[in-house]
Structure 1
Amino acid sequence: MAKKFSIEVMEKWCKGCGLCVSICPKKVLELNDHVKCEGVRQDDCIGCRQCENICPDLAITVKEREQ
């Protein structure tokens, strides 16, 4: 069974730069109406952590979900 992941975004820390949105290979993230990052398709996340690594504000955490 494939692992599932969840993305937590500290909205207060996110400045809406869009780096995470552009680097995500599965297009899991989008900028919301407040120009903040949001995980809109969390079930598609493959846990590559590229968004977490590229975030200059350390606002994103990727965690493995329990099945």
Structure 2
Amino acid sequence: MRGYITIDSERCKGCGLCISVCPAKVIEFSHRYNSKGYHPAVYKGDGCIACGFCYLTCPDVCITVFREVQKKVNVKV
């Protein structure tokens, strides 16, 4: 399964739990500070497998996971 995530960088306190549990290693710390003075987690881009581990471990409910639906095509021969 493939997908992507969004991270609310203003709510994120940069605890790093999502980074440590991501099996696809697609989350990292931002080099910039948010308005609260934290380095929030950011999604690197391609490669998310939509497992939801980051969502489940985020104590501040900053992450939303989106799963891409695969269409099945039936081909008759």
Unaligned runs of 5+ in 1: none
**Match of 2:43?**
39
Unaligned runs of 5+ in 2: 34-38, 71-77
TM-score norm. by structure 1 comes to 0.85
Q: RMSD value over aligned CA atoms?
A: 1.5
Greater helix proportion: 1
| 1: CA distance, partners of 2:26 / 2:10 | 20
**Match of 1:6?**
4
After the TM superposition, which parts of structure 1 deviate over 6 Å for at least 4 consecutive aligned residues? none
| Identical positions, percent | 41
Greater strand proportion: 1
- Deviation per residue, 1:14-35 (Å, 9 max, x gap): 0000000011011000001121
TM-score norm. by structure 2 comes to 0.75
Q: How many residues align?
A: 64
